[in-house]
A and B are shown apart, each in its own frame.
Chain A
Amino acid sequence: MLHIWYYSDIDHMIDAPAYFDNVYEDEWMEDPFIQAMIRDVDRSEVISPHIIESPVLGAITPRELSGGVKVLILMEKDDSFIYDLSNCGDNCARWVLEIAKGKELDVYLQHIMQFEEPFEIEIANHKKTVCTRKDYVQELLRVTSEMQGVM
C-alpha cells in the first residue's frame, strides 16, 4: 500500500537521482518490471545492463535515465530511504501504484500528483485512507490548510 507523507517533517532522500547513480546495480536493468517502467516513462529500451537506447539521446547508460524513473527504480529496489515523489512527473503515477501493490511504500510528496482511480492510498499525516481522486485531493488540501492555520 502507498503511504504519502505530504509536507511532513519525515526524514527523506533529498537527491535521489544522484544517489541512484552511486548505488544502481546491473541486475536491476535486467528486471522486466524495471524495463517496462523505462520503456513507458522514458520511451527508452534497455539493450543490456549498461546500454539503454533513448529515442532522443541515443545510446545512454542508466545514469542518463530521467530523474523520475530513477526514483521509481529506487522505490522498487532499494528500501533504505523514503523517496521524494515530487521528483516524479504524473507519467510515473501508475508505476508508483504498481510498486505499492507489492509492499508497504512510504513516500514524501510536496505537490498534488495525479493518480488515476482505482487506488488505495494512505495520507500518512492523518493516517487516513482515500480511494477516490476527490478524497485524495481534499485530504492533501486539508493538510495544507492545517499547516497554514486556515482551518
Chain B
Amino acid sequence: MKGSYQFSVRSKRVSFDFLIKRNITIIKGDSATGKTTLLSILYEYLRTGRQSGYSVTADCSFYVYLRNEPGRAWTDVLFPLHDTVIFIEENNPFIFSEEFAGYLKASGNYFVFVTRSPLKMLPYSIHEIYEIISTGKRAGTKEVCHEFRELYHNFPFTENGHTAVVVTEDSNSGFQFYANVLKEKQVASASGNSSIPQEIVTTPHNTMFIVDGAAFGSLVEDCVQAAQTRSDIRIYIWMPESFEWLMLHASQISDAKTQDVLRHPWDYVDSAAFESYEQYFTHRLTEITKDTDHPYSKHTLHPWFLRTDVTRDICGHLPEEVRNLLEVPK
C-alpha cells in the first residue's frame, strides 16, 4: 500500500479531518480530546454505513479494531485485510508483541494506533505522532471541528549556541560522514538508537544528537523528557528522516525522480516492501549509485562521498539551525 488518504469523519456534533500518509500513525495526547469518539464513529459507520447517522468519506478501505471478541483472535480479524487503513484502539496489548510487529511489517496495510505507550517493536516516524486538537465550531452549526496536530518537530531545543560534541545514532556510513565533516568536533556513535535517552542523561557536554527521525518515533518522547532534565547543559536533537534522505538531496547524487520522491515519498514507498521511509531511502540511494564509480553502502562510506565538493553539496542541504549549531562552513 502506498499513497496518502484523506479522511473526513462527521457526526451532528463533531467532525474530524485528517490525512494518513505512512504505514504507521500514532494518536496520543491529553484525555478527552476525542480519540475514542473518533474511533467509535468510524466503527459505527463501518457497521451500518449511513444508517449510523454518521458520515465518513475516505478514498480507501478502512477498518476499526476496538477490542477482541470471544473466539476471534486479532489474527483472525486482521490477517484477511489488504490495502486497508486499520485503526486500533488502546488497551489491545497484542500491538506490543513481536508477532504483531512481524505481521504489520509484511501486511502492507496502513495502521493508526491510539496509544500513549511507545511501540518499541516498530519503526515509526517522529512526524506521524499526533494529538487531536479542536479548531472550534463550524459557523452556523453545533459541529465542533477537530484535526490532527504533529506533536514532535525536528528542533525541540532551538536556543542559540554551539556544541562541541555530536553523537550519531549511526555507527557506519552516517558516523563516517559526520566525523569527516565535523573535524573540529568530538563525534561519537551511540551504536544504535535505543541507548540515546540514557546518553542524553549522562553526557557531560553540550551535545547534539543526530538520529533517523523516520524510525525514531518510539524513542522521541523519552529523549525529549530526558533532555528537559538537563538544565545544566544544552541538548539538541536533530531528527532528519535518515542519513540517506539527506544524501539524496545533494545535486551531485539526486536525479529528477529522486527529487520527486523527496517531495511526496508516500506515493513511492510501498509499505509491503519497506517497513519505514528509512529503509526506502537507503534502497533508493543504493539503486541510483550502484552503476556509478561510487556505489553507496550503508556499512562503509565510499571515499567519493567524503570529497570536499560532495560534502559541501550535502551540507548545503542541512537546515540553517543545524549548520549554525555545528558551525558547518557555508
Contacts and interface: CB of A to CB of B under 8 A. Distances in A.
B13 A86 contact: no
B3 interface: no
Secondary structure class of chain A's binding surface, majority of residues: helix
B186 interface: no
Interface string B115-126: 111100000000
A91 B32 contact: yes
A89 B116 contact: yes
Interface residues of B, number: 33
Nearest to A92: B31
A67 B31 contact: yes
| Interface range for A | 35 or more
A106 B228 CA distance: 26
B116 A110 contact: yes
Interface stretch (B203-211, B218-226, B234-242, B312-320): B218-226
B253 interface: no
A62 interface: no
A84 B31 CA distance: 14
Contacts of B33: 89
Would you list the 10 A-B pairs with minimal beta carbon distance, nearest first? A68-B31, A110-B117, A89-B30, A66-B32, A89-B31, A134-B229, A15-B91, A91-B30, A42-B32, A66-B31
Interface of A: 14-18, 41-43, 56-58, 66-69, 84, 86-92, 110-112, 114, 133-134, 137-138, 141-142, 144-145, 148, 150-151
Interface of B: 13-14, 28-37, 67, 90-91, 93, 115-118, 134, 144, 194-195, 197-198, 201, 221-222, 225-226, 228-229
Given A66-B31, A86-B117, A141-B225, 19 more contacts: A14-B93, A41-B32, A56-B14, A58-B13, A67-B35, A68-B32, A87-B116, A88-B31, A91-B31, A110-B116, A110-B118, A111-B117, A111-B118, A133-B228, A138-B229, A141-B222, A144-B198, A145-B197, A150-B194
